[in-house]
Every structure is written in structure tokens, then in C-alpha cells.
């Protein structure tokens, strides 16, 4: 142990006198070392050394000791390797997406703006400054598109977004040690797919309820089938405070979508298609355009085929009826 401590002293001294990032410390040097011993040498614990980010390969950001002091705005996924946790920057391209007027994205972004102004009210009541949103609706209805616009807007304001995975649960602790006051958005797309057994359900509950992410944090999740989620996740405020329906596009939105995406249709054809596709999702409209314009398939046969594809499941219809009229988007 004395030999290990001597080696550790040399490493720590090197870190104090050079610009070598903490990442260069072999991880096994920490094995078996008590925090008190490290305190005797440097006055800092291992956790306190991880106080900034090391840049790796231009897109990975690892908690470290001598690098940048804030995570650049962007979309990140938590990863881990033999050195510990790091944040990998993800790409986000919305150039092909259509932002409809008065969309759910606009509604949620407005709520975000209101929420960030309420920090003092939360703190005055001894409550953690956090909010949870759950967006649900039919597959292909635009939930991912909605979340993409929300992410892009959030990043444009200098903030960071994390894609939820089980590595994030520990990585977020390092992030909060470094930037405790940073605004954070955590995205849990298809949350039902994250919960395959009781163990994963409990892990998600601990994440939603844990103290690590509760400050200056918004969680937004999506699901096609909210009725398949455990009651203790979906039916308890403070986990998901808002449950909002993202439905099929309106006639006006279908006209806009067909106008933007079709290369061959005339204005009368666009209006005709839009009227004949009532109740269709954006995914169905996309398939119609590709089938007819790219593969030269018959329009009527394609419409019949897609109508068979879009047959609804009974349990989803029941859930929609139960929540119809309860999709309030205000803060009252």
C-alpha cells in the first residue's frame, strides 16, 4: 500500500504542476486507495479532481481535471469505458422536418420558458426545480419530430440535452458536480421500450425520483402506448407532470406536408390527397408519396394498403378516449 501511495503522490503532483488532464492517470492507481489518503496528499478527493471536461477526438467529453470548464451546448449520450464515464456528442439534423404552425413543439417550448422563470418559487417551497413531460400518440404521428424541434431550440439557447440510457445515471452525478446550475433537458424516447422488466422499471423510477438530476432539469419522454407503462411511472405527478397527446396532422398540416414533400403533385391534387387522408399520420403520408412518386405504384391501391396498415389497436383507442380533454398544456 505504501508503494501505491508513493506512486499516487507522484501522479497527483504531476497533475498539480502540469496541464496533463486527469484522464492520463491510470485508473488502477485509484484501486484500494482511501479518499482520506488522497486528502492528506492534495486536500482533494477523487471526486473533486473530476471538476472539468477533457476533450477526446473532438466529440467526446470526459469529466477530468484540467480542460474546459463547461460542456459545449449540444445533444449528448453518456458512455463508459475502462476510464469511467464520458459524454459523446450526437448529431441532430432537422433540415428535412416540417415545423407546423401552432405545433405541440411550440406549446412545450413555451412551457419550458415559463418553467425556467419559476426557480425561486420552487425553492421558496423547498421543492426541486424540475418538470416532467410525457408525449404520447400513434406511431408515426410526429412525437420524434416534436422532440427534435424542442431539442434544437433548447440547444440554441446554450444548453445541453442528454439522451437517457443507464450510463447516464452515474455520469449525471459527475456533470452536476461540475455544472450544478446548468439547465438540462433529458430525453427518454419510447420510454416503454426502456422498461422490459421489474429491474429496469425500478432503475427508471430511481432516476426520475433521484436527487442527482432534480435541480434545473426537465425530463421529456415519448410513448406510443402509455397504457402499457406501469401506473407508478405514468400516474404520479413529479415524475411526469404533463401528459400531452400528439395526434395526427390536421387538414391544413397535411396540405403543408404534401406541398413540401411532393415533387409532382399539382395544387388540386394536393388538396384532394389531403382530404382523402383524414386520420393519417405523417409516416403514412410519407409512404404514400414514396409509393406513388418514387415507385410509380397505383394511388388507389396504395391508399387501400395504407388504410389496412393504420388500423388502430383497441387498447390505444381506449386510452385516447380516457385522456381526451385532459391534455392541458398550461401551468395552472
Sign for the CA dihedral angle at 292, 296, 301, 304 comes to negative
Contact between 112 and 219 (Cβ < 8 Å):
no
The position carrying cell 389531403 is 274
State how far the Cα of 274 lies from the Cα of 268, in Å rounded to an integer: 10
Residue by residue, pLDDT tens for the chain (332 residues) are 444 444 445 544 544 444 434 434 444 433 443 333 333 334 444 444 455 677 777 788 877 655 567 899 999 999 988 878 889 999 999 999 999 998 999 999 999 999 999 999 998 998 888 999 999 999 999 999 999 999 999 999 999 999 999 899 888 888 888 888 899 999 999 999 888 888 888 888 888 886 555 678 999 999 998 888 888 887 777 788 889 999 999 999 999 999 999 999 999 999 999 999 999 999 999 999 999 999 999 999 999 999 988 775 444 555 455 544 444 333 32
State how far the Cα of 288 lies from the Cα of 140, in Å rounded to an integer: 13
The torsion of the CA quartet 63, 67, 72, 75, rounded to 10 degrees, works out to -30
Helical packing angle, 251-261 and 282-289, nearest 10°: 40
pLDDT of residue 20: 38
* SS3 (DSSP) at 43: coil
State how far the Cα of 92 lies from the Cα of 95, in Å rounded to an integer: 9
Rounded to a whole number of angstroms, the CA Rg of the chain reads: 24
* SS3 (DSSP) at 105: helix
pLDDT of residue 60: 83
Cα separation of the two ends of the chain:
60
Closest CA relative to residue 210, chosen from 170, 174, 177: 170
Element (H, E) at 16: helix 2-17
Q: Could you tell me the pTM of the whole model?
A: 0.74
List the domains of the chain with CATH numbers.
2-49 (no CATH), 104-247 (3.40.50.300), 251-309 (no CATH)
Give the HSE-up count for residue 210: Cα atoms under 13 Å, Cβ half-sphere. 15
State how far the Cα of 286 lies from the Cα of 277, in Å rounded to an integer: 12
User: How is residue 69 written as a grid cell?
Assistant: 470548464
pLDDT of residue 27: 46
State how far the Cα of 179 lies from the Cα of 212, in Å rounded to an integer: 12
Amino acid at each position: 500500500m505504501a508503494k501505491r501511495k508513493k506512486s499516487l503522490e507522484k501522479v497527483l503532483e504531476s497533475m498539480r504542476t502540469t496541464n496533463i488532464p486527469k484522464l492520463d492517470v491510470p485508473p488502477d492507481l485509484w484501486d484500494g486507495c482511501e479518499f482520506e489518503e488522497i486528502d492528506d496528499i492534495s486536500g482533494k478527493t477523487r471526486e473533486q479532481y473530476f471538476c472539468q471536461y477533457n476533450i477526446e477526438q473532438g466529440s467526446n467529453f470526459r469529466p477530468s481535471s484540467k480542460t474546459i470548464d463547461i460542456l459545449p451546448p449540444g445533444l449528448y449520450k453518456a458512455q463508459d469505458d475502462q476510464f469511467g464515464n464520458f459524454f459523446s456528442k450526437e448529431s441532430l439534423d432537422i433540415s428535412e422536418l416540417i415545423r407546423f404552425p401552432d405545433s405541440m413543439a411550440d406549446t412545450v417550448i413555451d412551457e419550458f420558458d415559463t418553467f425556467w422563470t419559476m426557480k425561486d418559487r420552487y425553492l421558496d417551497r423547498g421543492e426541486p426545480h424540475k418538470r416532467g413531460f410525457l408525449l404520447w400518440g400513434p406511431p408515426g404521428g410526429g412525437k420524434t419530430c416534436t422532440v427534435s424541434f424542442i431539442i434544437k431550440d433548447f440547444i440554441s439557447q446554450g444548453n445541453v440535452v442528454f439522451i437517457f440510457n443507464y450510463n447516464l445515471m452515474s455520469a449525471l452525478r459527475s456533470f452536476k458536480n461540475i455544472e450544478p446550475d446548468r439547465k438540462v433537458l433529458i430525453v427518454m424516447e419510447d420510454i416503454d421500450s426502456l422498461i422490459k422488466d421489474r429491474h429496469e422499471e425500478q432503475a427508471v423510477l430511481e432516476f426520475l425520483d433521484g436527487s442527482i438530476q432534480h435541480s434545473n432539469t426537465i425530463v421529456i419522454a415519448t410513448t406510443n402506448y402509455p397504457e402499457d407503462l406501469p401506473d407508478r411511472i405514468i400516474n404520479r405527478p413529479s415524475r411526469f407532470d404533463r401528459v400531452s397527446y400528439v395526434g395526427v396532422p390536421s387538414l391544413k398540416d397535411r396540405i403543408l406536408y404534401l406541398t413540401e414533400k411532393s415533387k409532382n403533385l399539382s395544387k388540386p391534387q394536393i388538396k384532394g390527397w389531403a382530404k382523402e387522408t383524414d386520420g393519417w399520420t405523417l409516416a403514412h403520408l410519407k409512404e404514400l408519396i414514396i409509393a406513388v412518386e418514387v415507385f410509380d405504384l397505383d394511388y388507389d391501391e396504395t391508399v387501400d394498403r395504407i388504410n389496412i396498415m393504420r388500423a388502430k389497436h383497441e387498447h390505444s383507442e381506449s386510452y385516447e378516449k380516457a385522456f381526451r380533454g385532459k391534455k392541458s398544456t398550461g401551468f395552472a
